[in-house]
């Protein structure tokens, strides 16, 4: 079935032109002129208006000013766009509020390490006992006291008994509550001397090793640059008072010594 082009309609088996000016499409008092179906219609705009439907208003400077309806349509579109942006922002904020992010202590990563964990890894950090670490000074002595000490005491020697016979002085056992400082120092000194892992460790360091391993040469080469010629240093006296000391060193007395 044949279809009529735009601006025309089928009537009695043929395409008939449609008069668009019956609906007065021209705005702002424009005059409508019906054309052939291809062009449909034209508007003759009054002074100060232009456009196909006389929808544009001309300013005094010749700038085309959109009509009132066109401006209202643009404002409505911008308002709707702004509302859509606000709805999108509010929706994203509410969605992020429901997401629970882990705290700084629960966020375990390979590159995040907490260094303020004092006593970390210990089984008991509250009910500890430091008694084994304490060294009693002046406390009660053990029940069993050896009759023979395994090491000599400082300042203890042989005395002179009756008839000139040397006898060992009696070693007084400290009473409970007293402290034998000599025994205490000797015991700790003996432990420190016999401990192979106690610092300072033996270390061999070489100092002043410059020239080590080099052969000693003859000193006769030091005089190889000298000769028996007599040098004249009288010109040093003409250099002024600042060089008087140098002129005295290399004066005639030096030639006589050489």
CATH assignment of the domain containing 65? 2.10.25.10
Residue 103: inside a domain:
no
* pLDDT at residue 76, as a whole number: 94
Question: What's phi and psi for 171, nearest 5 deg?
Answer: -90, 115
Question: What's phi and psi for 34, nearest 5 deg?
Answer: -75, 135
Residue 53: inside a domain:
yes
Q: Which of 141, 205, 194 is nearest to 172 (CA)?
A: 141
The total of structural domains in the chain comes to 1
Token pair for 7? 């601006």
Range of the structural domain that residue 48 is part of:
8-70
Query: Is the distance from CB of 59 to CB of 67 less than 8 angstroms?
Result: no
- pLDDT tens for 130-150 read 776 777 666 555 554 444 444
- pLDDT tens for 44-93 read 888 888 888 888 887 655 566 666 778 899 999 999 999 999 999 998 88
Residue 88: inside a domain:
no
Residue 223: inside a domain:
no
pLDDT band at 168 (very low <50, low <70, confident <90, very high): very low
Number of helices (H), then strands (E), in the chain:
4, 9
Residue 246: inside a domain:
no
Residue 49: inside a domain:
yes
Share of the chain above pLDDT 70, in %: 48
Cβ neighbours of 165 (radius 10 Å): 8
In SS3 terms, 187-220 reads as HHHHHHHHCCCCCCCCCCCCCCCCCCCCCCCCHH
Cα 241 to Cα 78, 184, 250, distances in angstroms: 98, 76, 15
* pLDDT at residue 85, as a whole number: 95
Q: d(Cα 246, Cα 258) in Å, to the nearest integer?
A: 17
Please, which residues bridge with residue 34 across strands? 41
Residue 47: inside a domain:
yes
Residue 77: inside a domain:
no
């Amino acid at each position: 079935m044949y279809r009529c082009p735009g601006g025309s309609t089928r009537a009695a088996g043929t395409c008939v032109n449609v008069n668009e000016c019956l609906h007065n499409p021209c705005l702002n008092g424009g005059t409508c002129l019906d054309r052939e179906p291809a062009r449909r219609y034209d508007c003759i705009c009054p002074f100060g208006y232009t456009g196909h439907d006389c929808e544009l208003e001309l300013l005094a400077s010749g700038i085309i000013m959109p009509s009132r309806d066109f401006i209202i349509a643009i404002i409505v579109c911008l308002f709707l766009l702004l509302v859509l942006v606000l709805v999108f922002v509010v929706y994203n904020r509410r969605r992020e509020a429901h997401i629970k992010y882990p705290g700084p202590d629960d966020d375990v990563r390979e590159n995040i390490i907490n260094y303020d964990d004092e006593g970390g890894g210990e089984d008991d950090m509250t009910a500890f006992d430091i008694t084994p670490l304490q060294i009693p000074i002046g406390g009660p002595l053990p029940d069993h006291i050896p009759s023979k000490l395994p090491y000599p005491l400082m300042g203890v020697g042989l005395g002179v008994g009756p008839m000139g016979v040397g006898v060992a002085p009696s070693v007084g056992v400290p009473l409970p509550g007293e402290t034998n400082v000599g025994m205490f120092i000797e015991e700790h000194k003996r432990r420190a001397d016999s401990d192979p892992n106690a610092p300072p460790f033996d270390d061999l360091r070489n100092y002043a090793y410059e020239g080590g391993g080099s052969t000693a040469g003859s000193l006769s080469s030091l005089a190889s640059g000298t000769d028996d010629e007599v040098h004249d240093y009288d010109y040093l006296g003409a250099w002024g008072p600042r060089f008087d000391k140098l002129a005295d060193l290399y004066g005639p007395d030096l030639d006589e010594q050489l």
